Amino acid sequence: MKKALIFQGGWQGHEPEQVAAILAGILREEDFEVKITNTLETLEQEDLTTYDLIVPNWTQDTITREQLNPLLEAVAQGTGLAGLHGGMGDSFRMETDYQFMVGGQWVAHPGNDGITYTVKINDPDHPLTKGMKDFEVTSEQYYLHVDPAVRVHATTRFPNAEGPYAANGEVDIPVVWTKKWGEGKVYYCSLGHVAEIVKMPEVIELMRNGMVWAAR
């Protein structure tokens, strides 16, 4: 049986406890043994290389080097990393090494919550998105600064809301991407502002496929 660690916490507006429970449920359906922790101290107290998958679910906040370095090293040695929205894409804003591993960082959500936008599936033959069709979401639309090395599987188009950024014209921003970090596989999905969005069938499918794919 594969082992997964979910660390949840940080800004409570993203409902980390509820989201962690949903993600843990998906993993248990896929025969993972899952541990959920609400302290970053776990990252320095345990041997993270014993996990096949680590799921960050911790928005903003800070992390010590004693906590971050074991995470970076575990993924480099082959532990998978997978997560969603701000729980993985807006964690530890001052830690560029973390952002380098993840492959991007949240910078804005023009129009805030309640924007209706389309998620375009770019890679319909990949196992992560096989058989999926484009779909609409009404939530935050994440504008991200993204590593050009990532492989993009789904995108969304800006602008949908007014703002000075719109002067640049239309641009497609990744919603789902993958990359490698050493021997480890990294998966990110920008959807999932709150638990109700994570419960969408399309998001459940993306996260199920992504977490299973990323696992060692």
CA 85 to CA 175: how far, in whole Å?
Answer: 9
pLDDT in tens, 126-136: 999 999 999 99
CA quadruple 24, 191, 127, 91: dihedral, nearest 10: -70
Q: What is the pLDDT of residue 189?
A: 99
Confidence label for 3 from pLDDT (cuts 50, 70 and 90): very high
Q: How is residue 165 annotated by DSSP?
A: G
CA quadruple 64, 47, 147, 198: dihedral, nearest 10: -90
Q: Summarize the confidence of residues 24-39 as an average pLDDT.
A: 98
Q: What is the pLDDT of residue 50?
A: 98
Structural domains of the chain, with CATH: 2-214 (3.40.50.880)
CA 159 to CA 143: how far, in whole Å?
Answer: 10
Two tokens at 115? 């924007």
Q: What is the pLDDT of residue 61?
A: 98
Bridge partners (DSSP) of residue 82 are 187
Q: Summarize the confidence of residues 83-104 as an average pLDDT.
A: 98
Q: What is the pLDDT of residue 133?
A: 97
- Closest C-alpha among 107, 104, 211 to residue 158: 107
Q: What is the pLDDT of residue 119?
A: 98
Contacts of 176 (CB under 8 A, 6+ apart): 128, 129, 152, 153, 154, 187, 188, 189, 190, 206, 210
Two tokens at 25? 């449920």
Q: What is the pLDDT of residue 12?
A: 98
